Chain A
């Protein structure tokens, strides 16, 4: 059978989601941001919530996310996306609101905002791209940088005495009563991408059902910042990131009931 006979509309099994714009992204070759954008477009399309979804984009490489997914967006100051999302979700509770943030944005300058938004149990989705460095500004150390990892600002590797411990912020969020669903995913293989898509879908469903904050970390690559090819970067991530940032669900439920939580508090 000739390739020409296969490439026909009736045989189509995979194509670009319609919510993803035709613009070519500014991301480097192999960047995980592109895959996660695609998944978000697919999930929003699948749930039929294009008209009521509002994304809040960060400062970092994903600052231009609003150029690529055809929904309403608001750009936030560095790290403040969860606070902006809180405002939007409270003013208009019918909207489905999500933030999209890197590890510099979420786990460094924006630590306070994400902690308190998740602790308040805001009905938002948080998509957290952890590539273990500041990608946009040239690959400096982030709180999530691994011990020993070479970055622009840790040329001899991250040192515990000097730089402290890498921050597992997703585990911290998993402890908060306001969190409904907390999961760590990745997008380096077809199977991982499909699982990540499910996690994102569940998160958006939670936001629609007002279950509290849903948080999906995507352990990601930054091949430019890591000075590796995209294929090598995936391998480096599997060997070095996954042992420290294990993939899987950390919490799956809904935010704590006020009554139960109050009694527990008083008993203690």
Chain B
């Protein structure tokens, strides 16, 4: 069965740690990092990368447009 897999790349320095992507994600992929970026913000990262389906919801709501989204259809379920 074809399964959709996704992944996001967060521009760590551009992220202000607002957390809006975390709540917009339907699969609880994202979380706010305990680490901070150079401006002191808890930037977002993929805590559960395996759950990402590349729906782009996180990127769509991001006020700082710091999320890039990728998606593939993989043939085998992972």
Contacts and interface: CB of A to CB of B under 8 A. Distances in A.
Contact of B65 (A34, A189, A234): A34
A189 B24 contact: yes
A8 interface: yes
Contacts of A142: none
Contact of B63 (A12, A13, A32, A229): A32
Contacts, number: 100
A230 interface: yes
A164 to B, nearest CB: 32
Interface string B43-78: 000100100001111011111111111111010001
A38 B62 CA distance: 9
Contacts of B18: 29-30, 223, 230-231
Contacts of A266: none
Contacts of A265: none
Nearest to B39: A24
A190 B24 contact: yes
B67 to A, nearest CB: 7
Contacts of A12: 68-70
Contact of A29 (B16, B57, B61, B74): B16
Q: How large is the interface on B (under 10, 10 to 19, 20 to 34, 35 or more residues)?
A: 35 or more
Q: How large is the interface on A (under 10, 10 to 19, 20 to 34, 35 or more residues)?
A: 35 or more
Contacts of B78: 1
Most chain-B CB neighbours within 10 Å: which of A6, A11, A15, A187?
Answer: A6
B63 A31 contact: yes
A34 B57 contact: no
Given A13-B54, A24-B13, A34-B64, A229 B19 contact: yes
A193 B14 CA distance: 20
B71 to A, nearest CB: 5
A189 B21 CA distance: 10
A165 to B, nearest CB: 30
Most chain-A CB neighbours within 10 Å: which of B13, B41, B70?
Answer: B70
A12 to B, nearest CB: 6
Interface of A: 1, 3, 5-8, 11-17, 20, 24-25, 27-35, 38, 187-190, 193-194, 223, 229-231, 234
